[in-house]
Chain A
Amino acid sequence: MKIFKTIILIVLTLLITACSEDEENTQIEENPVADLILVEQIEANNHTIELYSEQDNFYVGYNEISLRVKDNTADDYFSNVSITWMPIMHMTSMSHSCPKSDIETTQNETVSKGFMIFQMPGNSEEYWELTLNYEIEGVAYEASKIVEVVQKPDGMKNCISFVAADDSRYVLAWVAPKVPEVKVNDFIVALYKMENMITFSKVEDYTIMIDPRMPGMGNHSSPNNEHLTFDSASEMYAGKLSLTMSGYWKINMKLLDAENSVLKGEDVTDTNPESSLYLEIEF
Chain B
Amino acid sequence: MKRMQNVRGSLYPSNKVWHVLALLVVLSVYLFPKDGYAQETTDTMCSASCEPECNGSCEIPLKLYELDEVILIAPNKEIGYQKQSKPLSSIDEYLESSEHVKMIKRGAYAWEPTLNSMASERLSITIDGMRIFGACTDKMDPITSYVDVSNLSEISVESGQEGNEHGNCVGGAIDMKLDTSPFKEDYLKVSLDEGFESNNEQKITGVDVNFAEESFYLDGDVIYRKANNYTDGNGEEVLYSRYEKFNLSVNGGLNLNDEGKVTASFIFDQANDVGYPALPMDVSLARAFIGAIGYEQYNVGIVKNWKSKIYANSITHIMDDSQRPDVPIRMDMPGWSDTFGFYSQAELEHSRHSFLVKVDSYYNRSLAEMTMYPNDSNQADMFMLTWPDVRTWNTGIFVQDAIALEKGNMSLSTRISYHRNWIVDEFGLNSLRIFYPEMEASQHRFLASFGSNYDRTINHFKLAVGVSYGTRAPSVSEGFGFYLFNSSDNHDYIGNPDLKNEQAYEMKARISFQKKSFTASLQGSYFYMPNYIIGEIDESIGTMTIGAEGVKLYRNLDYASIANVSVQSEYLLSKNWTWKGSISYHRGVDDTNRNLPFISPIAYGSSVQFKKNRIFGEVAMDGAGEQVNVSEVFGEDKTEAYTVFSLSIGKTFTVSKNQLYAKAGVENIFDTYYSTYTDWNNIPRMGRNVFVTLSYKII
Interface residues of A in 234-283 (CB under 8 A from B): 242, 244-248, 282-283
Interface residues of A in 197-254 (CB under 8 A from B): 214-218, 220-224, 242, 244-248
In Å, the complex CA distance between A184 and B385 comes to 15
In Å, the complex CA distance between A283 and B383 comes to 10
B239 within 8 A of A: no
A183, A214, A217: which contacts B430 (Cβ < 8 A)?
A183
Q: Contacts of A216 on B, CB cut-off 8 Å?
A: 329, 372, 374-376, 379, 382
A136 within 8 A of B: no
Q: Contacts of A214 on B, CB cut-off 8 Å?
A: 382
Give chain B nearest CB distance to A219 CB in angstroms.
Answer: 9
**Given contact pairs A246-B383, A282-B379, A218 touches B434 in the complex (Cβ within 8 A):** no
In Å, the complex CA distance between A182 and B384 comes to 8
In Å, the complex CA distance between A116 and B440 comes to 39
**Given contact pairs A217-B544, A218-B546, A246 touches B382 in the complex (Cβ within 8 A):** yes
Contact B430 A223 (CB under 8 A): no
Q: Contacts of B382 on A, CB cut-off 8 Å?
A: 214, 216-217, 245-248
In Å, the complex CA distance between A183 and B370 comes to 16
In Å, the complex CA distance between A248 and B437 comes to 24
Contact A181 B380 (CB under 8 A): no
Give chain A nearest CB distance to B483 CB in angstroms.
Answer: 7
**Given contact pairs A223-B542, A244-B544, A184 touches B434 in the complex (Cβ within 8 A):** yes
Q: Contacts of A220 on B, CB cut-off 8 Å?
A: 542-546
Interface magnitude class on chain A: 20 to 34
Give chain A nearest CB distance to B496 CB in angstroms.
Answer: 14
Contact B430 A222 (CB under 8 A): no
Q: Contacts of B383 on A, CB cut-off 8 Å?
A: 182, 245-247
**CB-nearest residue of chain B to A221:** B542
**CB-nearest residue of chain A to B540:** A223
Contact A247 B434 (CB under 8 A): no
A-B residue pair count with CB separations less than 8 angstroms: 86
**Given contact pairs A244-B434, A244-B483, A245-B383, A217 touches B329 in the complex (Cβ within 8 A):** yes
B272 within 8 A of A: no
In Å, the complex CA distance between A59 and B599 comes to 61
Contact B433 A217 (CB under 8 A): no
B53 within 8 A of A: no
Q: Contacts of B540 on A, CB cut-off 8 Å?
A: 223
Contact B430 A247 (CB under 8 A): no
Q: Contacts of B483 on A, CB cut-off 8 Å?
A: 244
In Å, the complex CA distance between A35 and B151 comes to 61
Contact A217 B384 (CB under 8 A): no
In Å, the complex CA distance between A36 and B540 comes to 43
**CB-nearest residue of chain B to A183:** B430
Contact A182 B427 (CB under 8 A): yes
B376, B380, B431, B547: which contacts A244 (Cβ < 8 A)?
B431
Of B381, B382, B545, chain A has the most CB atoms within 10 Å of the CB of B382
B380, B430, B437: which contacts A182 (Cβ < 8 A)?
B430
Give chain B nearest CB distance to A181 CB in angstroms.
Answer: 6
Give chain B nearest CB distance to A176 CB in angstroms.
Answer: 16
**Given contact pairs A216-B376, A217-B546, A248-B374, A223 touches B381 in the complex (Cβ within 8 A):** no
Contact with A along B56-77 (1 / 0, CB 8 A): 0000000000000000000000
In Å, the complex CA distance between A218 and B547 comes to 8
Of A183, A215, A245, chain B has the most CB atoms within 10 Å of the CB of A245
B52 within 8 A of A: no
In Å, the complex CA distance between A244 and B541 comes to 12
Interface magnitude class on chain B: 20 to 34
B268 within 8 A of A: no
Q: Contacts of B328 on A, CB cut-off 8 Å?
A: 218
B435 within 8 A of A: yes
Contact A247 B374 (CB under 8 A): yes
Contact A222 B380 (CB under 8 A): no
In Å, the complex CA distance between A183 and B482 comes to 12
Contact A247 B379 (CB under 8 A): yes
In Å, the complex CA distance between A244 and B435 comes to 10
**CB-nearest residue of chain B to A219:** B546
Interface residues of A in 78-132 (CB under 8 A from B): none
Contact A248 B379 (CB under 8 A): yes
Contact with A along B341-381 (1 / 0, CB 8 A): 00000000000000000000000000000101011100111
Q: Contacts of B376 on A, CB cut-off 8 Å?
A: 215-216
Q: Contacts of B430 on A, CB cut-off 8 Å?
A: 181-184
Give chain B nearest CB distance to A256 CB in angstroms.
Answer: 21
Give chain A nearest CB distance to B540 CB in angstroms.
Answer: 7
**CB-nearest residue of chain B to A245:** B384
Give chain B nearest CB distance to A268 CB in angstroms.
Answer: 10
Contact with A along B381-397 (1 / 0, CB 8 A): 11111000000000000
Interface residues of B in 428-463 (CB under 8 A from A): 430-431, 433-435, 437
**Given contact pairs A216-B375, A244-B483, A247-B383, A222 touches B434 in the complex (Cβ within 8 A):** yes
Give chain B nearest CB distance to A187 CB in angstroms.
Answer: 13
Give chain A nearest CB distance to B105 CB in angstroms.
Answer: 28
In Å, the complex CA distance between A242 and B434 comes to 6
Q: Contacts of A222 on B, CB cut-off 8 Å?
A: 434, 542
Of B328, B329, B433, B434, chain A has the most CB atoms within 10 Å of the CB of B434
Q: Contacts of A224 on B, CB cut-off 8 Å?
A: 434-435, 437
Give chain A nearest CB distance to B526 CB in angstroms.
Answer: 39
Interface residues of A in 149-182 (CB under 8 A from B): 181-182
Contact A182 B543 (CB under 8 A): no
Give chain A nearest CB distance to B669 CB in angstroms.
Answer: 45
Contact with A along B524-544 (1 / 0, CB 8 A): 000000000000000011111
In Å, the complex CA distance between A196 and B76 comes to 93
Give chain A nearest CB distance to B144 CB in angstroms.
Answer: 32
**CB-nearest residue of chain A to B427:** A182
Give chain B nearest CB distance to A278 CB in angstroms.
Answer: 15
Q: Contacts of B482 on A, CB cut-off 8 Å?
A: 244
In Å, the complex CA distance between A283 and B382 comes to 9
Give chain B nearest CB distance to A280 CB in angstroms.
Answer: 10
Q: Contacts of B434 on A, CB cut-off 8 Å?
A: 183-184, 222-224, 242, 244
Interface residues of A in 31-86 (CB under 8 A from B): none
**CB-nearest residue of chain A to B546:** A218
Give chain B nearest CB distance to A157 CB in angstroms.
Answer: 14
In Å, the complex CA distance between A223 and B380 comes to 21
In Å, the complex CA distance between A221 and B548 comes to 13
**CB-nearest residue of chain B to A247:** B382
Q: Contacts of B431 on A, CB cut-off 8 Å?
A: 182-183, 244
Q: Contacts of B435 on A, CB cut-off 8 Å?
A: 223-224
Contact A184 B541 (CB under 8 A): no
Q: Contacts of B546 on A, CB cut-off 8 Å?
A: 217-218, 220
In Å, the complex CA distance between A234 and B363 comes to 47
Contact B380 A247 (CB under 8 A): yes
Contact A248 B543 (CB under 8 A): no
Q: Contacts of B547 on A, CB cut-off 8 Å?
A: 218
Contact B433 A248 (CB under 8 A): no
Give chain A nearest CB distance to B493 CB in angstroms.
Answer: 14
Give chain B nearest CB distance to A216 CB in angstroms.
Answer: 3
Give chain B nearest CB distance to A277 CB in angstroms.
Answer: 20
Contact A217 B427 (CB under 8 A): no
In Å, the complex CA distance between A248 and B374 comes to 9
Give chain B nearest CB distance to A240 CB in angstroms.
Answer: 9
**Given contact pairs A183-B430, A183-B431, A282-B380, A217 touches B372 in the complex (Cβ within 8 A):** yes
9 contacts between A and B (CB under 8 A): A182-B430, A183-B431, A216-B329, A218-B543, A223-B541, A244-B431, A245-B372, A245-B544, A247-B379
**10 more A-B residue pairs beyond the given contacts A216-B376, A244-B434, A246-B384, with a C-beta to C-beta distance below 8 A:** A182-B427, A183-B431, A214-B382, A216-B379, A218-B328, A223-B541, A242-B434, A245-B382, A245-B544, A247-B379
Query: Which 10 residue pairs are nearest across A and B when measured between Cβ atoms?
Result: A216-B374, A247-B382, A183-B430, A218-B546, A245-B384, A221-B542, A248-B379, A246-B383, A223-B541, A216-B379
Binding site for A on B (CB under 8 A): 328-329, 370, 372, 374-376, 379-385, 427, 430-431, 433-435, 437, 482-483, 540-547
Binding site for B on A (CB under 8 A): 181-184, 214-218, 220-224, 242, 244-248, 282-283
